[in-house]
Structure 1
Amino acid sequence: MRRYGIPAAALRLATAAFGLVLAAGAATAVEWKLGHILPPDHPSNRALEAAAKEIAERTQGRIEIKVFPAGQIGNAKENLTAITLGSSQMAFDGFGILSQWNKRLSVVEAPYLVKDFEHLKRIVASPEGQKLVDELRQKSKIRILDVWYYGSRHVTNNKRAINAVEDMAGIKLRVPEIQLSLEWAKAMGMTPAPMAFPELYLGLQTGVVDGQENPLPTINAAKFYEVQKHLALTAHLVQSVSPLVSEDVWQAASEADRAVVLEVMRKAGETSNAEIVRLEQDLVKTLEAKGMQVTRPDPAPMRARMVPVAAKFEETWGKGVYAALAAVP
């Protein structure tokens, strides 16, 4: 049989080839670049890479997330800027850097606002927390897909064991040059001393500063146990990181594919969170074994001292925002 002078066999071949072209076009991957600054072996990066693989499989290649760790395609600010400019589709970072796009988000990193990571998740999910998240999405087109645990910051020093807030009096503490960190140290009775991180080990060793505050993995990796005697598990700042995506890119994906991305990212977050909690628990024992004396001071009196400090930032955060978040059980 011939149609329009074309042999039937040739027609079947042409039809099959056209079908293959259509199928290939339908399965063409949309690449989402995801840049962040954590090292490749960090639990969160491993979880992101596993999530990217599963998302590609479950969307049949419609969404392929390419993860670029360790600042390969930019520092924290550059990665987020790339989302807003459209040169990247995703990033992975926390509320501190996001507050450069919505300054009200800095309230989430107010010391002693958050009691633990579960409390942080409830704060973000609260009506006031969702207002902040929605503002970021609406004004800057950055969508937060989930909240993952990054770690809690603790205080070390050489002066004395910290069993209560009163024991912090007079300690010269290195803090980042962030206004909120400076005000927190003052409220605890300490003398804040901004110093570049690369200079900190020598500063502690020579007594230029008495102490510092950082997450346990940083304290261990920087070998501060060699030049610090006391570790107080203050957990004064519970920090998170989030998978972030351009709102325009998100809306361009199908509803079914968006559901897959959300499900897989949340599952990956649970894996990363559990690993970081385990690492922190192990590190307390590790640092004790390396000679540090560990104390667990009551956070309630320290939290109370932050209330007047929060009032100084109310103009930035919005009237009643801190109080509303602090009231989340």
Structure 2
Amino acid sequence: MRRKRMIAVVCSVCMFAASLAGCGSNAEDSKTSESEEKSVELSIAHIGALESPSNLAVEHFIEIVEEKSGGSITITNYPASQLGGDRDILEGIVGGSVDMGIPAAGMTALYLPEYYIFDTPYMFDSEEHLMDVSEGELGEEIADKLLDTAGVRVLAQNWERGTRQCIFTNDVEDLEDFKGVKIRLPEIDSYLKGFELLGTKPTIISFNETYSSLQQGVVEGLECPLDWIYDNKFYEICKNLVMTNHVYSIMTMIINEEKYNTLSDNQKKILQEAAVEAGEYQNEILHEKEAEYLEKMKGEGVKVYEPDLAPFKEKAEPMFEEMEEVWGEGLYEKVLSYSKESE
């Protein structure tokens, strides 16, 4: 009888110990599973050339994300218009065939007209004015509307696109010479209206077809940031650069919202922080390259003209009232309120 009791006690102790061990194992397994992130593959597409500041920044963005996520997020980059122009890429992101991109803000306006303010000639008086708006309360409000309207989330809109200038195959030095010139423009209403007011003949051509269009004489010039002009070798055909400073603009790093919602909270945070950090990195490279590229193009025989910009701004002014019907009443005044020149 005593032996049976001893056996029962021993069995009970063993079962209790096994139970504790099992609980410990389950707790450890639970902790391990919570710490592990599911693997996610993303794609990002843009029109920046391989050595452009924008592509270098995208590569930097990918490195940050993959490192901070411990490899749980991998991103495939499609630069240099491999998946089409800005519009093609943007439509792909909205439709879900492309996950991410950095389209021009003015192209994003196809889905939310308020974004036209970031690609309207002579809207901003400086890069500082631009960034105060894009990263301020007004910029956040516009980004939130894009999410509601198009199902696309803005991760960062601190990516400067570079101050835009004009370059031509024929002799163009000042505003008077703009009259009747066929100029390649993106499919952005504010550009088309603005350059009509400047006297040109706007021609919509996809960015990846611009070089051949210049060669064939379809257009006689284009407008672009200096790094885009240099990286895409437009200076080989166009030898007259006019420093019009007509647009200070941004690119918006965006992601399809459905794809974004497949990420964990930690992965979302990593993407957002990396997008802003990469934007700052891109801007540093951009500012360094602009001066460098200008000197290199001069060395390639490009003539550089710096006209008085007051007549350009005066010619473009009627556009603001006209565009108000597109982007909404009072938005222009809100943008002006961020300008230090208006204080």
Q: Which residue of 2 aligns with 1:328?
A: 338
Aligned-pair identity (%): 25
1:91 to 2:78 alignment: no
CA distance in 2, matches of 1:66, 1:265: 13
Q: Which moved more, 1:52-61 or 1:300-309?
A: 52-61
Shift of 1:27: 1.2
Cα distance in 2 for partners of 1:295, 1:29 equals 55
The CA distance in 2 between the partners of 1:269 and 1:196, in whole Å, is 25
Count of aligned positions: 326
Q: Secondary structure at the match of 1:309?
A: helix
Aligned to 2:221: 211
1:33-48 matched pairs, under 5 angstroms: 33-37=42-46, 38-39=48-49, 41-48=51-58
For residues 86 and 109 of structure 1, the distance between their equivalents in structure 2, rounded to whole angstroms, comes to 25
1:50 corresponds in structure 2 to 60
Q: CA deviation digits over 1:283-307, x for unaligned, max 9?
A: 1001100001112223333223222
Other-structure match for 2:247: 237
Conserved? CA contact 1:35–1:73, under 8 Å: no
Match of residue 69 from structure 1: 78
Residues 1:76 and 1:11: Cα distance change in structure 2 (over 3 Å): farther
Q: 1:15 to 1:57 in 2, by over 3 A?
A: farther
Q: Tell me, which stretches of 5 or more residues in structure 1 are unaligned?
A: none
Match of 1:27? 36
CA contact (8 A) 1:32 1:90 kept: no
In the alignment, which of 143, 154, 161 is matched to residue 144 of structure 1?
154
Q: Distance in 2 between matches of 1:60 and 1:192?
A: 48
- Distance change (3 Å), C-alpha of 1:3 and 1:100: farther
Look up the equivalent residue of 1:152 and give its one-letter code. T
Taking a change above 3 Å as real, the CA distance of residues 320 and 304 of structure 1, as seen in their structure-2 partners, is farther
Decide whether the 8 Å contact of 1:95 with 1:109 is kept in 2: yes
Partner of 2:6: none
Output the TM-score relative to the length of structure 2. Answer: 0.76
Provide the rounded CA distance (Å) in 2 between the counterparts of 1:150 and 1:281.
Answer: 15
Task: Report Cα offsets for 1:204-226 as digits up to 9, x if no partner.
Answer: 45655433222323333443333
Native 8 Å contact 2:102 2:251 kept in 1: yes
- State the Cα distance separating 1:31 from its structure 2 match: 2.0
Larger radius of gyration: 2
**Superposed CA RMSD:** 3.7
Q: How far apart, CA to CA, are the structure 1 residues paired with 2:219 and 2:88? A: 32
- The CA deviation string for residues 117-166 of structure 1, in whole angstroms up to 9 with x for no partner, is 3322112234444332221123334332222022232112244352x433
What is the letter of the counterpart of residue 42 of structure 2? K
The structural deviation recorded for 1:259 is 5.0
**Code of the aligned partner of 1:299:** L
Q: Is the partner of 1:220 in helix, strand or coil?
A: helix
- Cα deviations by residue, 1:82-140 (Å, 9 ceiling, x for unpaired): 65566765433231332222123223211121334332211223444433222112333
Where does residue 171 of structure 2 map in the other structure?
160
TM-score scaled to structure 1, two decimals?
0.79
Deviates more, 1:26-35 or 1:302-311: 26-35
| Distance across 2 between alignment mates of 1:14 and 1:106 | 59
SS in 2 for 1:68: strand
Given that 2:52 and 2:227 are in contact with CA atoms closer than 8 Å, whether structure 1 keeps it comes out as no
Provide the secondary structure at the position in 2 that maps to 1:106: helix
